[in-house]
Chains A and B, each alone.
Chain A
Amino acid sequence: MAKITYHTHDKKTHTIDIQNGLTVMEGAIQNDIPGIDADCGGGMSCATCHVYVKEEWLDKLPTKEDGEEDMLDMAFEPKKNSRLSCQLIVSDELDGLEVNIPSKQG
């Protein structure tokens, strides 16, 4: 279990306990957090679960697989701290993770 904080574009903050093994994307979808579309359902093929990770977490997260950076090229306003939330699998190590959800996904 990890506490994940989602900052949505409407300036609201949602801190939620997410079970280990789910992705940060699934945590958002299951808890009705707005702003994550996840059109492809977690297949790293749509870039609509794009989030900005709080800087201090960047190095603590598992590194990106090949396809993730390619997909981020397609994301809406990608930045250095962009990740696809479907590729972030929740574990105890991610306890306290904070992500910002962009104003839109495409």
Chain B
Amino acid sequence: MNKTDVLIIGAGPTGLFCAHQLGIIGLSCEIVDNLDKVGGQCIELYPDKPIYDIPAVPECTGEELTNNLLKQIQPFNIKFHLNERVEKLKKNQNRWHVKTSGGVEFDVAAIVIAGGVGSFEPRKFAVKECEKFEGNSLFYSIKNKSIFKNKTISIFGGGDSALDWAVELSNTSKVNLIHRRDGFSGAEASVQKVKELNEQGKLNLFTKYQLDSIIGEKNIEIVKIKHDEGEIKEIKSDYVLGFFGLIMQLGPILDWGLNINKKNVGVNTENFETNVKGIFAIGDICSYPGKLKLILSGFHEGALAARGCFKYAKPNEKLRFEFTTTSKTAQERLGIKK
């Protein structure tokens, strides 16, 4: 059981800065995120794309912003729990018991949901029978690549994951790469490599095709793919891999009794608390009149929510407003030596 003052759900910029604000006012926190890395949408959706509207930062990428925030919260030694999705929530007197998908448990005074638009989950095939094979001979991510050795794999997608796996698996497996158009969104070097391998007969590239249906009893046997013009091809396959990026799902948060409307959680603008006492929501996931989905708004919301958490974490203490420029206590917390 991890005992801490506040649990932050989501390691995007808003969650990271909220951790900073909690640290400044002397509260401890830990952060859970469903992804395998810190940064949220900034890292998952646009690590290399520039951002121009962070105050006093004329231009930075999603990755730079994340790294700078990590540097800013370094003094607080915050513990991250990545690859974990918060599943269960239980009120225990004045505190909350929280349990994640991987069985990590927390005992906290308050919870800050900084979950963006939900947790990232792989996008799935539209074809219905895919569900039947999922986890058995159809996958959206690869955990153990050795199962593919000497088998026939049909990979769908045109981004980096699809291209990289097609190239790698072509060494030891028979690979078909199927994509809906001639263009690819993955790195140019990988696209060239795939085309080379295709010409050398080391993998089979099918463009302008999409999955039509799958035939098989327990395991996949044949994959039918359909061309833009309607032609259908049957290809023998032992495994199917789909790489269509990630989509955001609210998940278990839906069952927490929060006031949710269209994937957003209603909050007050005084301290960004939800209708449930002790649970706050900040960043893209919260909604209130005039809400702007900007990173800078998330920072403001995080600063206020952190102060809102104080009365739950330290009910007998009074929070005094201080500037980091002049406050000795704040500077000590930041580890600044003079």
Give the B-binding residues of A (Cβ under 8 A). 37, 39-41, 43, 45-48, 69-70, 73-74, 76-78, 80, 105-106
DSSP class of B's interface residues: helix, strand, loop or mixed?
A: loop
Known: A37-B263, A70-B185, A74-B123. A106 touches B247 (CB 8 A): yes
Name A74's contact: one of B126, B179, B183, B244 (CB within 8 Å): B244
B180 CB within 8 Å of chain A: yes
In the complex, what residues of B have CB within 8 A of residue A74's CB? Answer: 123, 159, 244-245, 247
Give the A-binding residues of B (Cβ under 8 A). 41, 45-46, 117-118, 123-124, 126, 157-159, 179-181, 183, 185, 210, 228, 244-245, 247-248, 263, 284, 293
B292, closest chain A residue (CB): A41
Min CB–CB distance A99 → chain B (angstroms): 18
B263 touching A76, Cβ below 8 Å? no
B126 touching A76, Cβ below 8 Å? yes
Min CB–CB distance A45 → chain B (angstroms): 4
Q: Please list the 9 inter-chain residue pairs (A to B) with the smallest Cβ-Cβ separation, ordered nearest first.
A: A70-B185, A106-B247, A74-B245, A39-B117, A45-B45, A41-B293, A77-B126, A73-B158, A74-B244
Name A76's contact: one of B117, B123, B180 (CB within 8 Å): B123
In the complex, what residues of A have CB within 8 A of residue B124's CB? Answer: 106
Min CB–CB distance B281 → chain A (angstroms): 16
Given contacts A45-B41, A70-B159, 6 further A-B contacts (CB under 8 A): A48-B247, A70-B158, A73-B159, A73-B245, A74-B247, A77-B126
